[in-house]
Chain A
Amino acid sequence: MLEVLNVTKRFGGLVALKNVSLKIERGERVAIVGPNGSGKTTLFNVINGVYKPDEGRVLFEGVDITDLPAYRRAHLGIARAFQIPRPFPNITVRESAAIGALFGSYYGRIGVREALEIADEKLKLVNLYDKRFELTGRLTVPELKLLELARALASKPKLLLLDEIVAGMPPAMVDHLMLLVRRVADEEGIAIATLVEHVMRAVVRFADRVIVLHLGSKILEGGPEEVLRNPLMEEIYLGRRWSP
């Protein structure tokens, strides 16, 4: 469904992505793993149109979307939940979630009333329904992450890009959240790409497939257990073993 073909992205002299290719199938869950600075976030930004790649193409459902602006990609069904939640502090929780529905893949087909209904439904799902009339700015950080998820789901995505939204959350909540995401994704056939910086078993276990980025290149790809056992992982995160 999503195809990234030989993408290279440079920032001045820094090569953030080097000839990266990957594929994500419908309903698949892929974890993109790599230490800080490995190019994960740049990859997401190239997929959802914040950046245009210097080389290579991005295809979504067979259509070349490389030159489409970010907002058009959202209409096609690519949603993003940010790592640092981007709340709209002065509007209500309900309105924030409704923005997801109005401008996602329903774009142009639903009115405000339907969008608010969808928002309510997704807020119930993440347990924020009771706070729907609060200003977004009053939510706690874990609540903001739940809202971020609700907003992304309200847009009825085909592909959901999850930044490392579980970072900084209590472990019990991480499990709960990942199970929730998994259930909804299965029900609605949503493909998920999630970023993982610190190798968290909970998240990796959640994935069907793991892709490892290091210094802008894809160096490993495969099933979660297989990838985690690979000695290269230790090297990336801890450095090369000293040998005489």
Chain B
Amino acid sequence: MTLSRTHILALLTLYAIILGLRILVEVVGPLGPITGQLLTLLAFYIALGQAFNIFLGMTGYVDFGYVAFMALGMYGMASGVVRAYEAGLPGYYGIVFGLIQTITLTSLLALIVGGIALRLRGAYFAIATISVNEGLRYLVEGLDIWEGSRGLIVSGPLIRLFGSEGFSLLATIISDIMVFSVALLALVISIVFLNTRIGYALKAIREDEDAARVMGVNTTMYKVLAFTTSGILGGLLGAAWSFKVASIYPPDAFNILYTIEAIILVMLGGAGTLAGPIVSGTLYGSLKYFLAGILPGFQLLVFAPILVAVIVVAPEGIVGALRAYIPATRRFIA
């Protein structure tokens, strides 16, 4: 797939529509069924899919511990804010400090786990990453890091640092825009990857790793690069999301459900495609939101057969299937 200007323009338009809607809703209030909450959810799932796609979609490796990056991002940002509050510093110091912590922690985790576990293939890699996630969770609880199982309270310090009005903006529209920026950043990085040597290396690895090595691809380096990039983006997503939660508990932060959702988003949209995450994020987010209203408590039960159907009918994902069966779409959908 060679990216053209049309592809990039189409992608940016889709992003602009959702971001525009979110701002519009903030200004004029809900547009029928389109509420701020719905758009928050969409932004989250689009960002999650787009960030995870850089690793899962481009290399074909399944990281079952992806949520650990989000968890470290949430803790990194929240503990930065709490520390600034305790030290009597202004709020934005906390946010800057939180970002630094997020990037440091997630890149460290990615380099350590990637350097070791990326030597494993297929199911072995998936199992190793599950263990890392569970291990980290019990480490946080057991060593009582970040208040351990008592939970790290975020909303209190945030309210005192930014005032209650500032906090409510931060927890809604501002963090939504941050989440959206993560999605956009992931998209831009994906475009850069695809248009350079990196994208070709990752494709070769996804297709046949042994052959790729013989052809001159430093497979380890490119795998670690994709893993780290995707991990840091996951951390930034967690950091942006942390403004919305009152307190952070290890079982919630390291909940494997988010990893599973990330996998679903990438596969549903089309692994390795650029438009996949925005399509699947919108679809998955909307279904989840509306099903919660129509059939509260049953949404996952309704969702499962829909997913099974998509996977059976179009294993290459929605965007993949569009490109395969309707050649005309190839000109503008990447």
Contacts and interface: CB of A to CB of B under 8 A. Distances in A.
Interface of A: 48-50, 69-71, 74-75, 79-80, 82, 86-92, 95, 98-100, 102-104, 107, 111-112, 115, 151, 155
Given A70-B214, A71-B218, 7 more contacts: A49-B214, A50-B213, A71-B215, A86-B208, A88-B208, A112-B197, A155-B216
Contact of B195 (A49, A82, A89, A112): A112
A88 B214 contact: no
B113 to A, nearest CB: 22
Interface stretch (B42-50, B91-99, B167-175, B198-206): B198-206
Contacts of A95: 200, 203
B204 A71 contact: no
State the 8 A-B residue pairs at the shortest beta-carbon distance, nearest first.
A74-B216, A103-B216, A88-B207, A86-B211, A70-B213, A71-B218, A71-B216, A70-B214
Given A86-B208, A91-B207, A98 B214 contact: no
B207 A90 contact: yes
A212 B143 CA distance: 65
B213 A99 contact: no
Interface residues of B, number: 21
Contacts of B204: 88, 99, 103
A184 B203 CA distance: 28
Given A75-B216, A107-B216, A102 B203 contact: no
A100 B206 CA distance: 16
Contacts of B201: 99, 102-103
B203 A91 contact: yes
B217 A103 contact: yes
B219 interface: yes
Contacts of B212: 99
A80 B211 CA distance: 10
SS class of chain A's interface: helix, strand, loop or mixed?
mixed
Nearest to B203: A91
Contact of A71 (B195, B206, B207, B213): B213
A104 B207 contact: no
Interface of B: 1, 195-197, 200-201, 203-204, 206-208, 210-219
SS class of chain B's interface: helix, strand, loop or mixed?
helix
A195 to B, nearest CB: 15
A112 to B, nearest CB: 6
Contacts of B219: 71
A161 B311 CA distance: 41
Given A88-B207, A88-B208, A90-B207, A99 B200 contact: yes
A167 to B, nearest CB: 18
B214 A80 contact: yes
Contacts of B208: 86-88
B215 A98 contact: no
Given A71-B218, A151-B215, A102 B197 contact: yes
B18 to A, nearest CB: 29
A111 B197 contact: yes
Contacts of B210: 50, 86
A50 B214 contact: yes
B207 A89 contact: yes
A112 B200 contact: yes
Nearest to A88: B207
Nearest to A48: B214
Contacts of A79: 215
B212 to A, nearest CB: 8
Contacts of B206: 90
A2 to B, nearest CB: 16
Contacts of A69: 213, 218
26 contacts: A50-B210, A50-B213, A70-B214, A71-B213, A71-B217, A74-B215, A87-B207, A87-B208, A88-B203, A88-B207, A90-B206, A92-B1, A99-B212, A99-B215, A99-B217, A100-B215, A102-B197, A102-B201, A102-B216, A103-B201, A107-B216, A111-B196, A112-B195, A112-B197, A115-B200, A151-B215
A90 B197 CA distance: 17
B216 A104 contact: yes
Nearest to A76: B216
A91 B207 CA distance: 8
A74 B206 CA distance: 19
A104 B215 contact: yes
Nearest to A133: B2
Of residues A87, A99, A102, A115, which shows the largest number of chain B Cβ atoms within 10 Å of its Cβ?
A: A99
